[in-house]
Chain A
Amino acid sequence: MRALSYTVAPSAEAAVARFAAAQGSARYIAGGTNLYDLMKLGIEHPAHLIDVSRIDGMDAIETDGDILRFGGRALMTDVAYTPVVRDQYPVLSESLLKAASQQLRNMATVGGNLLQRTRCMYFRNGAGSTSMVGVYPCNKREPGSGCSAIGGLDRTHAVLGTSEACTAVAPGDWPVALMAMDATIEMLGPEGPRNLPIAEFYRLPGDTPHREFNLHPGELVTAITVRKTPAGRASTYHKIRDRESYAFALASAAVALEMDGATVRTARIALGGVATTPWRSRAAEAIVTGSPLTPELALRAGRAAFADARGGQHNAFKIELGARVIADALIIAAERRA
């Protein structure tokens, strides 16, 4: 890691101005749980760090009106345990509480979480101050160098949204829940404020897997909003991983339902751990919408979500696993209807 300067931004405007002044060599740092880690791994090399974790008011959590509004630097812990979120939007709360560890959730922000980078081992490991045993070819790390995961040890890789250039999984849990809840991202950039539906926030890898977000340089995520909906209550974030805690998803599902008795009126289904971006499955939603939910129908919906999936060397099991996670999640969510 090279020498760098560090300053604390007092306001969002000041942060944006400082970023612009640094002419591309600056990065915002919030909790640092991903950025500092990537700096230690030799993947990120900022010359200037602008700390946005103390910006006045940007940690506000508002739940009074028609929308839930989470400040960009609100901590994962604080959002997860906000009573309205915990009681009426279990999908949001669970997606946060099933992520990382309690220590990390006390550091990590809900804004930074949206922007964390993949855990693909070829991307992360094998270089940097802590490993330095050789950098593997990786198009995300070094555009044009190739993708080692394709044809390699890809057990944890994506089966949906992949390209010839990259099959890395989008790691975050919270963005999957937000995808199901049609969240909006509020940003402030050099050109002023801008809002973007989360569905437009993430980019498929295509030929440019190193470009992951539709965020302009210097844009600061100031808040995340979710429109209040009764679907929040009958919801869950179901996550299967290689151990019972402190691990990223092998496959996960965010499900929120509105029910008429046993019949599904509306369904929102998003997937994690299996795709290159947080993944909404309209196909799965269509299957359950308007029908009484049975285990068989739930599994059919799960399978539909993976109709276009493509397995690699070692990850084809995720197609079956992912379908079953959706099926289980649908049943759990339905059991929570008021």
Chain B
Amino acid sequence: MASVTLENVSRMYGAVTAVDNVNLKIKSGEFVTLLGPSGCGKTTTLRMVAGLEKNTGGRIAIGDNVVSDSDKGYFVPSERRRLGMVFQSYAIWPHMTVFDNVAYPLRIRRRPDTEVRDRVMNALRLVEMEQYAERPSPALSGGQQQRVAIARALVFEPEVLLLDEPLSNLDARLRTQMGDDFRALQQRLKITALYVTHDQAEAMALSDRVVVMHGGKILQVGAPEEIYRRPENRQVAAFFGTPNLLNATVKDCRPNGGQYFKLSVEGQGWSGDCHAATEMPKGADVTVMVRPENLHVRDAGQVNGDLSWSGEVSQAIFRGSHRSIMVKTPAQTLHVEASSLSNVDIGRPVTVAAPVEAAWAVRN
């Protein structure tokens, strides 16, 4: 398996910039996910790596070989890039059986029949589809089609596996299961995978690293937990879930011993401590992000956190796994995810608290 390198890669459609100066290095055996809202350029990026789209700027290399360099006008067509790809529609050819579909990449390369049979059956076994080999491919369920598409993409042992929203056509339960299965397979075979999705949970669960894109640009690259807990800016912070974002001013800033800085901040009617990635001058305006699941509701006046707000409960919604509680504070209404067992009355005065690790400040 090979690495993938994108250097200043751009793609213009007329005057529209679909992908804008993307730099990314995917290590061999790594699972990297492109994540972002609809139209942010994920598919375009993937297709440029696949060679289905020409980059209008920058260079793309697979392993040590440059496959596309727009300045030199150099471009290796798809079929010579040795890739595997799973399309959103699966693109299972309806006129072939499951076996023929999977055998295609091998037959195209004129492999001997015995080798084709062995490798196809191996690939089908990998995705637990060997008993379907002789089925006409239209007679498959969505999940089965997806597995055939993966088998076909893997059968030639491609340099890199590209996947464009491969799970989005499946129902929620199957999606989780197929995702976990695929991740296990990827780790077992040490496949380099570039994966496109707009589903945050999927990206978190599967990837080694997540690339958050917006408007054709990369906003942040990092491990899922990194991106979720320590976003670099307000946009990335707001992208995952529905965090509480509070405006505040820095009162004090000091290193906390580790790689972060500890800030004392003050907002409208509240104050406390939080972490930040960089040093901030006193008086700087920052946004403090606190995730709803890290907030706790206590009786009024009871303070045992590094940050606290007092207010009254304005809304409580039972959601099965948890209870969404809205607490109205002088600063703004805070969204708290409490245990579904906790029961609070509307209008009750409470204190909302969070530990210092749960609060993350980014510069405005």
Whether chains A and B associate is: no
The interface of chain B, by Cβ under 8 A from chain A, is none
The interface of chain A, by Cβ under 8 A from chain B, is none
